A and B are shown apart, each in its own frame.
Chain A
Amino acid sequence: MKRHFDYTLLLMTLLLVGLGLTMIYSASAILAKERMHDSLYFLKRELAAVVLGMIGLVVARLLPLKIFQKMVYPFLGVTLVLMLAVFIPSLGSRVGGATRWLRLGPVSLQPSEFAKLALIFFLSYVLSKKKEKIKAFAVGFMPPTVLAGLLIGLVLLGKDLGNGAVMAVTFFALMYVGGARLSFLFSEFLLSLPALYMLIASEGYRRRRILAFLNPWAHEKGAGFQIIQSYVAFHSGNFFGQGLGEGKQKLFYLPEAHTDFIFSVIGEELGLLGTFAIMTLFLIWLFRALRIVVKAPDLFSRYLALGIGTMIGFQAVFNMGVVMGLFPTKGLPLPFISYGGTSMVVSLFCVGILLNISSQGKV
């Protein structure tokens, strides 16, 4: 039976992607001109990713849901291989000290983006299979925990703390809603604290970022520079912004203007109006995604929808929070908006899955 799918969710997604492309151009044109001698360089690449992502979206929308369930382990396996391949020097590429990218000919992949999806697939599968057994420690709680720990650990080894955090939150959210005992979850959280501390303490820049987060003005020219420049961008945006393309912060002052800090450029150029618009689009998107959770036809797709919604929703909240100084600075793109091919393709593919589920559920 042919069903309708959630048009609103698709509309929100397309609006966010469209706004994202506009802002990527605005934020990157001058940088691209200077570095690549082509002001459209980043826009073109992102556009290619959007095209690819839209194909993925349609595919994910049309595939039978059962196939996803069958693909869980093969997908997990491929992801693990990619994650490990990053550490092979001839394949992995280091950017800014972080080993996150896998170079394959002209394209480079960010396996940690796949890892996020693999984690959701796997947890959805496990939770839908084990059901009440999840409350048991050895048979229910441990297996998903171990595998999630492995995936997150690999992501963190690639120095991708941002995605690691998103995965951890998604893991806790799924396990929590999936019925895992609070005592287990809490103990696990406590156990992860020393590891978190080690992570922060082991890298000087992370410690500085934490300090800068606590008091950016004391580190105005060092670690606090980026966040203060982000404040400056928001502040000069005021109610209606400096006008599209009129922002100055992206020129010299705001590192990562077209990637992780694109929200700040939106704030400067489109003002309060722009940031409220983006936040509202995300809010509606999230509401629709969680509505799909409620209406999902079976447990697997319900957990799948929950995982995707939580992951993208939390990542949006986290990115905007970082840019506005509510969290310490982490490298993490704003879904649908920031420049980043893998993230875009995976995100759009996820939307395709959500639309697929929405078409199966009861209207």
Chain B
Amino acid sequence: MKEVKAVPGNWEAMTKGNHHERKKRIFSAAGGESFSRERFGVLLAFFAVAFAVLYYRSFHLHVMADQRLEKLTKNQYTTRLDRAAPRGNIYDIRGEALAVTVPTDSLALRPNRVKDQASFIEKLDKVISLSKSEISEKVSSNKKYLWVKRGLSPAESQMLRKDPIEGLELVKEAKRFYPNRELASQILGAVGRDGEGLGGVELYYEDYLRGDADKGLAFRDARGKTLQTDESVDLQEDVSHLYLTLHKGIQYAVETTLEETCKTYQAKTCTSVVMDPRTGAILAMASYPHFNPNQYGDYDLALWKNKAVTDSFEPGSIFKVVLSAAALESGLVKPDDKFFCEQGIYKIGSNAIHDHERYGVLSLREILKFSSNIGTYKVAQKIGKQVFARVIQDFGFGKRMGIDYPGEATGLVRPVGGWQEIDFANIAFGQGIGVTPLQIASAFSTIAAGGVRMKPYLVSKISDANNQPVWEAEPTPIKRVISEGTARQLRAMMKGVTEEGGTGTKASLPGYSVAGKTGTAQKIENGHYNHGKFMSSFVGFIPADQPRLTILVTVDEPQGQIYGGAVAAPAFRKIAWEALRELGVSPTDGPGLPQKRVSPILEASVMPTGVEQALGLAKEAGTRAALSLQASDLLRQKAPVEEPRAVLPHVATGSVSANSVVPDLSGLSMRQVLRRLEQNGLMAKLEGSGLAFEQRPVPGTTTKRGDVCLVSFRPRNE
């Protein structure tokens, strides 16, 4: 202790001096001091560690993801409940209601207003059809507001109106109601509890059908102060109504026929498309089994699918029509050119193709009529792969048809470069290729209508909330696929199918000539054709010479009967019979069926006796379809779901040749844009969805009436 007088603490010494010196100098006050340098160091270390832990913990809490916290945060900041947005109605082409909006009471709860949970649960349990545990869960939620039950029954809402319970509020909501239950369910889709389209047309036309979302605002919360918007919100303000191309009567006939067919043959699924071949308008479209969109929750999601659009299948013999079209169009083959059919078996390399009967020499006409695979392949060989592939493409196979319905499938057409000879043969008679029922219906319609392919569509008209039309569909030609002459020759050949000796005689109808084709395709399972599972089909149009209807019927895995001519053709006939009456088409060929209208269900007793007998006694006229044992890699594939986009090609307006000034459309909804442009006599071409943000020409430009204005939309909140 040399430096007794030194000031005990010496920072410089502590930082600069050597260890020994420091030890001596620091804390070395006079007289046996007890202040411990080492222990002070321990205290420093304690604080250092404590702060390190604090820094780490703070970082962890702030930044590291924590789902529990995020969920809690989201829940307790919920300061508004959206009530179901109002929606426009959906009608069939004649204005018959398919989907409407009805008012309903829903029950909302503010848990923090409930003082005594036990008595609350007790009281509410007596009124409402919820279990005590469900009520208990809701009342002890940490959300500020929540729905207790959407869509109360009239009895429930009456009781709650009479005896209000503290913490509960009745809120008027719009609710979707489908008066025809299952009818057209797969086309319409369904609507969720918040008024959002969940599928089908409801989803595709969401932007039109759904009203202003803010109109649905039920509660707002600003710093704990609660406000309720007034009860009397117009539930259908600012919406559009849709008029479909469907005919309710035809749709009904289709669905009852499919149900009957499905049950008779214990089939998995029956699908049908009824199309106006002249326009591409869908008159009816359905699959059975279907679902009831009023209670969509009770059904398997698979039943929502409109299989005619979203699923593809191997068409089998009906595809021979496409090959025939290619053959005639190429000019290399005439309907009466003869082909040797090899007596039922024909080798292609190491594979062989078969016919169900030993045919000798057949003309193209007969090949189609009897559905000879070998004959079809011989015809295909004559025209070559390239010609066939191009016609397949022109008919639109392998691509979406562009129907205004979400989730359309493309089908599957392998590129022609990869076709082996056996593939070529298979595709000629409809194996090893995937098509949608809609594509087939479209191809047959093209032939029926004289060779020009039309774009299929489901919505015929959109009108505003006051039911003033704002948009009307116009048939859209896509391209000429075959010449008038080819189409005429094909129609004549296809008439043979339903005539005496053909495979589709059960599709024939007195008074009308029917042109069509049967198909019976073996289904592939696990890469191999299954000998017990078939897809039976019939496609045709009627009347054959001036077609008004194209009707496709497919029956998936019928039991007992398997041939398209036996299973699907009778369904075709029933649907045709009802649809012709619905449309008022007079018999074209001799006396038809009695004009007495029996609707909506086809009764066997009103069927002409000849047909009735034919039903019971028909011999196996169907043709055994292609049975190539070559395993194809093609399976019924799942449709890639496409994002719904409401894109309207153009707008019909009464165009007058005068000048017009382009209005400023920015920020407007599609509906408003259409209205504004219509007022100004301009055509609209719309892109995207949401609100308008860009337009050409720019606002203020003077153009001729009838000019097209291109408007781009982007989603709200962007």
What residues of chain A have their CB less than 8 Å away from a CB belonging to chain B?
A: 30, 127, 130-132, 134-135, 173, 176-179, 217, 220-221, 228, 231-232, 234-239, 248, 251-253, 267, 271-272, 275-276, 279, 282-283, 286, 290-291, 293-299, 302-303, 306, 310, 313, 317, 320-321, 324-326, 361-362
- Nearest CB of B to A229, in Å: 9
Binds A, one of B49-57, B304-312, B459-467: B49-57
CA gap between A176 and B31 in the complex, in Å: 19
Cβ A228 vs Cβ B62 within 8 A = no
CA gap between A231 and B43 in the complex, in Å: 29
- Select which of B14, B62, B68, B72 is within 8 A of A267 by beta carbon: B62
Cβ B61 vs Cβ A235 within 8 A = yes
- Select which of A176, A217, A303 is within 8 A of B39 by beta carbon: A176
Which residues in A have their C-beta under 8 angstroms from that of B26? 294
Q: Is B70 an interface residue (CB 8 A)?
A: yes
Q: Is B610 an interface residue (CB 8 A)?
A: no
Which residues in B have their C-beta under 8 angstroms from that of A132? 32-34
CA gap between A252 and B76 in the complex, in Å: 10
- Select which of B10, B47, B53, B73 is within 8 A of A235 by beta carbon: B73
Cβ A317 vs Cβ B35 within 8 A = no
- Select which of A178, A217, A237, A310 is within 8 A of B34 by beta carbon: A178
Contacts A235-B73, A317-B51, A362-B11; is A134 near B58 (CB within 8 Å)? Answer: no
The count of chain B contact residues (Cβ–Cβ below 8 Å) is 43
- Select which of A179, A217, A291 is within 8 A of B11 by beta carbon: A291
Kindly list 8 other residue pairs between chains A and B, CB separation below 8 angstroms, not including A177-B40, A235-B66, A325-B57. Answer: A127-B34, A176-B43, A251-B223, A272-B62, A279-B51, A303-B35, A324-B58, A326-B54
Chain A residue at minimal CB-CB distance from B39: A177
Cβ B61 vs Cβ A231 within 8 A = yes
Contacts A231-B61, A294-B9, A324-B57; is A313 near B47 (CB within 8 Å)? Answer: yes
Q: Is B69 an interface residue (CB 8 A)?
A: yes
Which residues in A have their C-beta under 8 angstroms from that of B57? 321, 324-326
CA gap between A279 and B10 in the complex, in Å: 28
Cβ B61 vs Cβ A361 within 8 A = no
- Nearest CB of B to A215, in Å: 12
Cβ A362 vs Cβ B10 within 8 A = yes
Of the candidates B44, B58, B68, the one having the most CB atoms from chain A within 10 angstroms of its own CB is B58
Cβ B223 vs Cβ A30 within 8 A = yes
Cβ B44 vs Cβ A290 within 8 A = yes
- Nearest CB of A to B244, in Å: 47
CA gap between A232 and B70 in the complex, in Å: 8
CA gap between A267 and B55 in the complex, in Å: 12
Contacts A178-B35, A232-B73, A279-B54; is A362 near B63 (CB within 8 Å)? Answer: no
Cβ A252 vs Cβ B62 within 8 A = no
- Nearest CB of B to A278, in Å: 9
Which residues in B have their C-beta under 8 angstroms from that of A178? 34-36
Chain B residue at minimal CB-CB distance from A263: B58
CA gap between A167 and B38 in the complex, in Å: 22
Chain A at the B interface: mostly helix, strand, loop or mixed?
helix
Of the candidates B7, B9, B31, the one having the most CB atoms from chain A within 10 angstroms of its own CB is B9
Cβ A238 vs Cβ B63 within 8 A = yes
- In B59-93, which residues have CB < 8 Å from any A CB? 59, 61-63, 66, 68-70, 72-73, 76-77
CA gap between A130 and B34 in the complex, in Å: 9
- Select which of B55, B61, B140 is within 8 A of A276 by beta carbon: B55
- Select which of B29, B54, B66, B77 is within 8 A of A320 by beta carbon: B54
Q: Is B224 an interface residue (CB 8 A)?
A: yes
CA gap between A326 and B39 in the complex, in Å: 25
- Select which of A252, A275, A303 is within 8 A of B224 by beta carbon: A252
- Select which of A179, A238, A291, A313 is within 8 A of B35 by beta carbon: A179
Which residues in B have their C-beta under 8 angstroms from that of A127? 34-35
Q: Is B637 an interface residue (CB 8 A)?
A: no
Which residues in B have their C-beta under 8 angstroms from that of A173? 43
Which residues in B have their C-beta under 8 angstroms from that of A326? 53-54, 57
- Select which of A253, A272, A297 is within 8 A of B76 by beta carbon: A253
CA gap between A291 and B32 in the complex, in Å: 22
- Nearest CB of A to B230, in Å: 26
What does the 1/0 interface line of B289-303 toward A look like (CB < 8 Å)? 000000000000000
Contacts A131-B34, A179-B35, A221-B142; is A239 near B223 (CB within 8 Å)? Answer: no
- Nearest CB of B to A217, in Å: 7
- Select which of A272, A291, A321, A325 is within 8 A of B59 by beta carbon: A272
Which residues in B have their C-beta under 8 angstroms from that of A217? 68
- Nearest CB of B to A132, in Å: 4
- Select which of A228, A283, A293, A361 is within 8 A of B51 by beta carbon: A283
Which residues in A have their C-beta under 8 angstroms from that of B73? 232, 235-236
Contacts A235-B61, A313-B47, A317-B51; is A131 near B10 (CB within 8 Å)? Answer: no
CA gap between A34 and B70 in the complex, in Å: 29
Of the candidates A276, A303, A325, the one having the most CB atoms from chain B within 10 angstroms of its own CB is A276
Return 28 A-B CB contacts under 8 Å, by A number.
A131-B31, A131-B33, A132-B34, A176-B43, A177-B40, A179-B34, A217-B68, A228-B69, A232-B73, A267-B62, A276-B58, A279-B55, A279-B58, A286-B47, A290-B47, A293-B9, A294-B14, A295-B10, A296-B9, A298-B8, A302-B8, A321-B54, A324-B58, A324-B61, A361-B7, A362-B9, A362-B10, A362-B11
Which residues in A have their C-beta under 8 angstroms from that of B9? 293-296, 302, 361-362
- Nearest CB of B to A45, in Å: 23
Chain A residue at minimal CB-CB distance from B76: A253
Cβ B61 vs Cβ A234 within 8 A = yes
CA gap between A348 and B55 in the complex, in Å: 25
Which residues in A have their C-beta under 8 angstroms from that of B42? 176
Cβ A221 vs Cβ B140 within 8 A = yes
Cβ A293 vs Cβ B40 within 8 A = yes
Which residues in B have their C-beta under 8 angstroms from that of A30? 223
Of the candidates B9, B34, B51, the one having the most CB atoms from chain A within 10 angstroms of its own CB is B34
Which residues in B have their C-beta under 8 angstroms from that of A306? 40
Cβ B62 vs Cβ A239 within 8 A = yes
